[in-house]
Amino acid sequence: MDFECSYSHMKTKMQNAIRENLYFTLLLCADEMMFEYENLPDSIDPKFLEDYLNISGSAGICRDPSGGYLVCPYPSRAEQLNQYGDGLKLQGATMNGLTVSGEIGKDAAIIYNNTARGRQWDLPMDAAAFADIDKSCGINVLFARIAPIYSTPNDNIKNALKEIIGKVIDGQVDVVSSQNVYDALQINPSENSLKMIDITDPEKIRYIQYLDEHYDAMMRRHFSRRGLSLRTGTKAAQQSRDEIYGMDSVSWYMPLNKLKARQQGFDVFNRIFGENVSVRFSDIWQQEYDAYQLRLLQSDAEAENAAAAAEDAAAVDTDGSENNVGDRTEKGD
């Protein structure tokens, strides 16, 4: 297998990594805002606690001999194992190299990001997807600006073209609208010294709208997993209003699971250290969750009313048929 190690290749890889990291940071900001902590000791920073939980999947906490608490990402469970294979001792290190250790449930605690004890797996995945969409948009825009590929045996013309195309990429579009440009290329109209090969179609820039829709769909999907509804898409001609609203459906399994894992972890923390830390949804998530529950109650009420109406209608039909049978019986008797 061939591996390319050219400067341009490494530069492209670096640019892609920077783009993905920017999106990762953007998405991480939202997850950092999902929960609020009350009575959290000053030595435990909620921002870094949430970073550790979302990025590493867990955070280890023990007493700091000099006071307060030490918190570390990527804590390991070591030494004696329980029946499930979990180590009973916490081992880890803070970002400045201080040791975090202790017996779990006695003088050390682990807070998990979710009950599966995993990091926030969709952050890097969605960040990579958004970065790919951005790259595709950039390529489409570039191909719309420079569609033809020029070919010439003259090095002077080649160098002039490279300079002009570079200016076009930089936004100096005026350089392609003048006769002086043509003269500067030293092209003799009677000579066919400059050939053009069309290998791209500038009209395909219209497809960028589908990339935009894909971006919006990815963003809706990302936040729908977090219980938040985003209306970022445009209405297609064949879509009804109900179908558009139907796309706003959300799922609360992830936020509720993350909340449960944090509450369970701090229940142990409070018990062993005598603290009173509590975790809840932040205001925006709580408002959305309350609205979500209200929609469920309304849907249940509507379903119950519909069922009751159906039962009443069936009862009316049954009563009517029984009366008819009674009439026939009396007449028969």
pLDDT of residue 198: 65
The fourth-level CATH superfamily of domain 34-120+251-281 is: Upper collar protein gp10 (connector protein) (2.40.500.10)
Q: Return the domain boundaries, the chain.
A: 34-120+251-281, 122-246, 283-333
Residue type at position 58: S
CA torsion through residues 159, 160, 162, 163, sign: positive
pLDDT of residue 326: 45
Burial of 171 (0-12, 13-18, 19+ CB in 10 A): exposed
Residue type at position 26: L
pLDDT of residue 300: 67
pLDDT of residue 328: 43
In 146-282, which residue ranges form alpha helices assigned H by DSSP?
155-169, 179-184, 208-224, 241-246, 253-273
Torsions phi, psi for 103 (to 5 deg): -85, 125
Q: Is the pTM of this model over 0.85?
A: no
Give me the residues paired with residue 196 across strands. Answer: 150
Name 158's Cβ contacts closer than 8 Å, sequence gap at least 6. 152
Between 122-145 and 155-169, two packed helices, what is the crossing angle to 10 degrees?
Answer: 130
Task: Kindly state the DSSP code that residue 19 receives in the 8-state scheme.
Answer: H
Whether 139 and 12 have beta carbons less than 8 Å apart is answered as: no
Torsions phi, psi for 156 (to 5 deg): -65, -45
pLDDT of residue 4: 56
The list of the chain residues with pLDDT below 70 reads: 1-5, 7-9, 145-148, 168-169, 171-194, 196-202, 231-249, 300, 302-304, 306-308, 310-312, 314-333
Residue type at position 70: L
SS (H, E, C) 34-59: CEEEECCCCCCCHHHHHHHHHHHCEE
CA angle 285, 52, 43 (to 5 degrees): 90
pLDDT of residue 122: 93
pLDDT of residue 109: 96
pLDDT of residue 237: 45
pLDDT of residue 210: 86
3-class state of residue 233 by DSSP: coil
For the stretch 18-33, what's the b/e string if a residue is b when 16 or more beta carbons lie within 10 angstroms of its beta carbon? ebbeebbeebbeebbe
**Token pair belonging to 329:** 């019986």
Q: Which helix (H) or strand (E) holds 70?
A: strand 69-73
3-class state of residue 148 by DSSP: strand
